[in-house]
């Protein structure tokens, strides 16, 4: 009976399901490959150098990615504007939004690179680490900081392409970047052939050079044009007609990203109260969770693109239906990957490190990561749908309440007063996600987000 119902449902919604998959699958591959740039460092540093270097690179990358995701928030607003303009077939406005968004990303990227280089030691000094971990972390941070402006360029270009439903191109670029990083890691960490043995500095240099290449490829592709999207130098000039709505959509998204990433930095500070083994285990588990949520991010971007396009076409029922279908597809993924995490925790962790102490320390938390998955996927996709409609302010408020009202206080209580280990992070995440899944569903059901003007 259930099988017949499922087949009828798929048949009835075949077009929409295929649209979601056609947009999300390249994004899933792209985001997975993008995450693998960091995970390649994690694996190769762990196996080739050691757990002190792993902790050092983890702290440095956490700060860098937090900074980038906060200040590249204009891309969230740009995708919403571009997808809405794409639905309206307004290519002039579409290209103006893409060009000015690139200018903003370039400007912020240069500023943040200079800031990181000037205050690297103070930034890395916020973590309670050993002297060896601090020195390696600072060395890694100073080199990778040069890649920040190029990451801003890449994120701006990719978000513009996604806004016109071209998710295949960012996937291919990410594959190239990932391949270059892995080869560069091996060559520069070990000193292969004529190259010097650079250790953790080699991993940082490889990551930086691969990101430079990614940015160069994106600029070339934007100059050529695709799906009505093309980079014209005249569109790089900031104008009030574009920057005002872009700012209104994006500043809340930026604040949301600030709250999100600082929450994990604070969680990392709490974990640093523990030992180096716990710190290394925490980094590995974060990497695993990041990779496992790539399909959710793919479905989220597909939902944002299609919801924005549907609202541009003034088809509100389609926008709502897209949200439900995308979240349902994501929950199925969450159940599947969560089950794998629960059943095979040690085998998965062993792919990231040979250290028996780290593996044993990670197993209880790994099972909790598995339980979290369906809730986490659902939240990510629902937030994507709301962002696609321009409802970035309410997404910010909901995420702020979840993270700072429940997630962070619960971690602190469990570690400081409950004397628990790294599993406290994912117990806290589960509690916050379960509560806010219901709240986010009620927001979607209200349908007020459909009337937001962009």
3-state secondary structure at position 229: strand
CA angle 273/369/348 to nearest 5° reads 95
**Other Cβ atoms closer than 10 A to 212:** 19
In this prediction, residue 48 carries a pLDDT of: 65
* pLDDT band per the 50, 70, 90 thresholds, residue 404: very high
**Structure-token pair, residue 23:** 């947009």
For tokens 């509560």, the residue is 435
CB 361 within 8 A of CB 374: no
Residues 315 and 393 sit within 8 Å (Cβ to Cβ): no
Burial label for 173, CB within 10 Å (0-12, 13-18, 19+), is buried
Q: Report helix, strand or coil for 366.
A: helix
Q: Which residue, chain included where needed, has tokens 């490889």?
A: 206
227: CB partners within 8 A, 6+ apart: 86, 161, 164, 165, 166
Predicted local distance difference test score (pLDDT) of residue 430: 94
pLDDT of residue 344: 94
Measure Cα distances from 98 to 71, 222, 337, 390 in Å: 16, 10, 35, 17
404: burial class by Cβ within 10 Å (0-12, 13-18, 19+)?
middle
Distance CA 378, CA 333 (A): 10
Q: Which two tokens stand for residue 378?
A: 């659902």
- Report the alpha-carbon distance of residue 345 to residue 303 in Å, rounded: 31
- Residue 1: pLDDT band with limits 50, 70, 90: very low
Q: Contact 269/129 with Cβ under 8 angstroms?
A: no
pTM above 0.85, yes or no: no
Chain segment 56-89, per-residue pLDDT in tens: 676 677 677 666 666 666 687 788 788 888 878 8
Residue-number span of the structural domain to which 85 is assigned: 2-451
Average pLDDT of the residues of the chain: 84
Using the 8-state DSSP alphabet, how is residue 195 labeled?
S
pLDDT band at 337 (very low <50, low <70, confident <90, very high): very high
- Alpha-helical (H) ranges within 72-90 are 74-88
Mean pLDDT of 29-44: 66
% helix, strand, coil for the chain, step of 5: 85, 0, 15
3-state secondary structure of 400: helix
Distance of CA 212 to the CA centre of its chain: 19
Cα three-residue angle 166-172-175, rounded to 5 degrees: 145
Q: How far is CA 206 from CA 154, 188, 197, 246, 353, in A?
A: 17, 7, 12, 34, 21
Nearest to 168 by CA among 156, 177, 178, 158: 158
Please say if the pLDDT value at position 93 is more than 70.
Answer: yes
How many angstroms separate the CA atoms of 322 and 258, rounded? 28
CB 232 within 8 A of CB 95: yes
Query: CA 429 to CA 206: how far, in whole Å?
Result: 33
Whether 336 shows a pLDDT value over 90: the answer reads yes
| Dist. CA 336–CA 308, nearest whole Å | 29
Q: What is the pLDDT of residues 275-320, one digit of tens each?
A: 778 888 888 898 888 878 888 888 888 888 888 888 888 888 888 8
pLDDT confidence tier of residue 4, bands split at 50, 70 and 90: low
The yes-or-no verdict on residue 378 having pLDDT over 90 is yes
Say if CB 365 and CB 425 are below 8 A apart.
yes
**What is the count of structural domains for the chain?**
1
Q: Can you give the pLDDT at residue 272?
A: 77
Query: 435-445, pLDDT tens digit by residue?
Result: 999 999 998 88
- pLDDT at site 109: 86
Q: What is the mean pLDDT of residues 172-196?
A: 86
Please list, in sequence order, all residues whose beta carbon lies within 8 angstroms of the beta carbon of residue 347, skipping any fewer than 6 positions away. Answer: none
Of 10-14, 56-60, 283-287, 367-371, which has the strongest mean pLDDT? 367-371
């Amino acid at each position: 009976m259930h099988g017949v119902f499922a087949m009828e449902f798929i048949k009835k919604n075949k077009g929409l399901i295929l649209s979601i998959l056609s947009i999300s699958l390249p994004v899933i591959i792209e985001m997975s490959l993008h995450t693998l740039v960091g995970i390649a460092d994690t694996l190769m540093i762990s196996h080739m150098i050691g757990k002190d270097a792993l902790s050092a690179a983890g702290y440095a990358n956490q700060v860098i990615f937090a900074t980038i995701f906060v200040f590249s928030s204009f891309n969230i607003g740009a995708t919403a504007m571009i997808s809405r303009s794409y639905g309206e077939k307004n290519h002039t406005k579409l290209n103006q939004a893409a060009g000015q968004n690139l200018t903003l990303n370039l400007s912020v990227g240069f500023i943040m690179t200079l800031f990181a280089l000037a205050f690297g030691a103070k930034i890395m000094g916020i973590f309670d680490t050993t002297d060896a971990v601090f020195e390696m972390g600072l060395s890694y941070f100073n080199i990778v900081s040069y890649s920040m402006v190029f990451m801003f360029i890449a994120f701006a270009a990719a978000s513009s392409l996604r806004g016109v439903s071209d998710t295949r191109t960012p996937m291919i670029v990410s594959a190239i970047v990932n391949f270059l990083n892995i080869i560069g890691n091996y060559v520069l960490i070990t000193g292969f052939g004529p190259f010097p043995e650079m250790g953790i500095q080699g991993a940082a240099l490889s990551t930086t050079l691969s990101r430079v290449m990614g940015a160069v490829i994106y600029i070339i592709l934007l100059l050529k044009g695709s799906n009505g999207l093309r980079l014209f130098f005249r569109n790089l000039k900031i104008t009030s007609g574009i920057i005002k709505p872009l700012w209104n959509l994006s500043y809340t998204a930026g604040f949301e990203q600030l709250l999100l990433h600082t929450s994990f930095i604070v969680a990392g500070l709490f974990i640093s109260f523990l030992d180096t083994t716990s710190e290394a285990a925490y980094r590995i588990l974060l990497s695993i969770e990041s990779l496992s949520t790539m399909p959710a991010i793919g479905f989220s971007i597909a939902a944002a693109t299609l919801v924005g396009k549907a609202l541009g076409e003034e088809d509100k029922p389609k926008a709502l239906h897209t949200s439900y279908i995308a979240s349902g597809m994501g929950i199925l993924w969450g159940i599947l990957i969560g089950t794998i995490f629960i059943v095979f925790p040690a085998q998965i962790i062993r792919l990231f490190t040979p250290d028996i102490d780290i593996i044993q320390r990670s197993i209880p938390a790994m099972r909790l990561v598995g339980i979290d998955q369906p809730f986490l996927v659902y939240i990510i996709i629902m937030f994507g749908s709301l962002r696609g409609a321009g409802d970035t302010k309410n997404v910010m408020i909901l995420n702020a309440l979840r993270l700072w009202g429940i997630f962070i206080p619960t971690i602190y209580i469990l570690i400081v007063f409950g004397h628990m280990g790294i599993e406290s992070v994912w117990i806290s995440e589960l509690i916050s996600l379960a509560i806010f899944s219901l709240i986010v569903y009620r927001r979607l059901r209200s349908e007020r987000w459909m009337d937001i003007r962009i």
